[in-house]
C-alpha cells in the first residue's frame, strides 16, 4: 500500500493539470457552441476533453489507497467533529476513486460489460457526500475561529473601555425589545457577523481557499446527478477554478488546510 501512496503522490500534480485542462476544454466548448463555431472544431474539443478525462482516471488508480491511509490517520484526531467529518470524507473519496477505477476499466476495454451510467452515478454520489463533509468541516472551523475572534475582541473592549455598551448584547435601552429598534439592531448584528466572518477568512487563507474550492466542486456532482442543472459552462468554470486552487496547494504547501 505504501508504494501505491507514493505513486499517487507523484502523479497528483499531473492529474490536477489534466483536470484543469479538461474543464478548460469544457468551458471552451460551451463558448464555441454559443458563438456558433464549426461542428468539426467543437467535436475536436469534445474529443480532447474525453481523452483528458480518461487520462485522469489512469492517474487516479492509486488514490483509493491514499484516501484510506488518510482516513486511518484522521481516526486519531482529538476533536470529535473534525474526526467524523474528515474520516467520512476520506472514506467517501476512497469509494469514489474505486468507482472511477471501474469506469476506467470499462472505457479502456478491460471490462467492456461495465454499466457506465450506473457506475458514473454511483461515483458522483460518493463525490457529493465527500464534498458535503468537507464543507461541514469548513463551517465547523469557521465557527470555532469566529468564537475565538469574538472573545478576543470582547476582551480588548473590556480592557480599553471598561465593558461593552449595553445596547449591543443586552435587552436594555436600544436593545432588540425596544419599540422600533428591533430591525436596525438585527441588521447591525448581522453586519458585525459578516465583518467577523470576513476577518476570519482573511486571516486564514488555507481555510478560505478550501471553502471556495469545495463550493466550486459542489456544482459538478449536483449537475451530473441532476439535482441542480447548471449547464456545461458553469460546470467548466467551477471545475477550472477549483483545479487552479488545487494546484496552488501543491505549489505552496502552506495553503493546504490541515489536518
Provide the residue ranges of all domains of the chain, joining segments of one domain with +. 1-59+230-258, 62-149+197-203
pLDDT for the residue numbered 164 = 46
Cβ 248 vs Cβ 209: under 8 Å? yes
pLDDT at 171 over 50: no
Question: Using CA atoms in the order 122, 126, 131, 134, what is the torsion angle rounded to 10 degrees?
Answer: 180
User: What's the pTM value of the predicted model, to 2 decimals?
Assistant: 0.85
DSSP H helix total and E strand total for the chain: 9, 0
Residue 7: pLDDT over 70 = no
Q: What are phi and psi of 102, to 5 degrees?
A: -65, -40
pLDDT band at 183 (very low <50, low <70, confident <90, very high): confident
* pLDDT on residue 13: 82
Q: Minimum mean pLDDT among 44-53, 167-176, 204-213, 246-255: which range?
A: 167-176
Q: What is the mean pLDDT of the chain?
A: 87
What sign does the dihedral 168-172-177-182 (CA atoms) show?
Answer: negative
The predicted pLDDT at position 188 comes to 87
pLDDT at 9: 56
Q: Identify whether the C-beta of residue 175 lies closer than 8 Å to the C-beta of residue 167.
A: yes
| Region 80-105 average pLDDT | 96
CA distances from 238 to 51, 92, 172, 214 (A): 20, 21, 47, 10
Query: Can you say how many angstroms the Cα of residue 201 is from the centroid of all Cα atoms in its chain?
Result: 15
pLDDT tens by residue, 97-149: 999 999 999 998 888 899 999 999 999 999 999 999 999 999 999 999 999 99
Instruction: Name the more confident of 112 and 235.
Output: 235
69: number of CA atoms within 13 Å, CB side?
13
Amino acid at each position: 500500500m505504501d508504494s501505491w501512496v507514493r505513486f499517487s503522490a507523484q502523479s497528483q500534480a499531473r492529474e490536477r493539470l489534466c483536470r484543469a485542462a479538461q474543464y478548460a476544454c469544457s468551458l471552451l466548448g460551451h463558448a464555441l457552441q454559443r458563438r456558433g463555431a464549426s461542428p468539426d472544431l467543437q467535436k475536436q474539443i469534445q474529443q480532447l476533453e474525453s481523452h483528458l478525462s480518461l487520462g485522469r482516471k489512469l492517474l487516479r488508480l492509486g488514490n483509493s489507497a491514499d484516501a484510506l491511509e488518510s482516513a486511518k490517520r484522521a481516526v486519531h484526531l482529538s476533536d470529535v467533529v473534525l474526526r467524523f467529518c474528515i474520516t467520512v470524507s476520506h472514506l467517501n473519496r476512497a469509494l469514489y476513486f474505486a468507482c472511477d477505477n471501474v469506469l476506467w476499466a470499462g472505457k479502456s476495454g478491460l471490462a467492456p460489460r461495465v454499466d457506465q451510467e450506473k457506475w458514473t452515478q454511483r461515483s458522483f454520489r460518493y463525490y457529493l457526500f465527500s464534498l458535503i463533509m468537507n464543507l461541514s468541516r469548513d463551517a465547523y472551523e469557521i465557527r470555532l475561529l469566529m468564537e475565538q475572534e469574538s472573545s478576543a475582541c470582547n476582551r480588548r473592549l473590556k480592557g480599553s473601555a471598561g465593558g461593552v455598551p449595553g445596547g449591543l448584547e443586552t435587552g436594555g435601552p436600544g436593545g432588540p425589545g425596544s419599540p422600533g429598534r428591533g430591525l436596525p439592531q438585527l441588521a447591525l448584528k448581522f453586519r458585525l457577523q459578516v465583518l467577523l466572518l470576513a476577518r476570519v477568512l482573511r486571516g486564514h487563507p488555507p481555510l478560505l481557499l478550501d471553502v471556495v474550492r469545495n463550493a466550486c466542486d459542489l456544482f459538478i456532482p449536483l449537475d451530473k446527478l441532476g439535482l441542480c442543472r447548471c449547464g456545461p459552462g458553469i460546470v467548466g468554470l467551477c471545475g477550472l477554478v477549483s483545479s487552479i486552487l488545487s494546484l496552488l496547494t501543491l505549489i505552496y504547501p502552506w495553503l493546504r488546510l490541515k489536518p
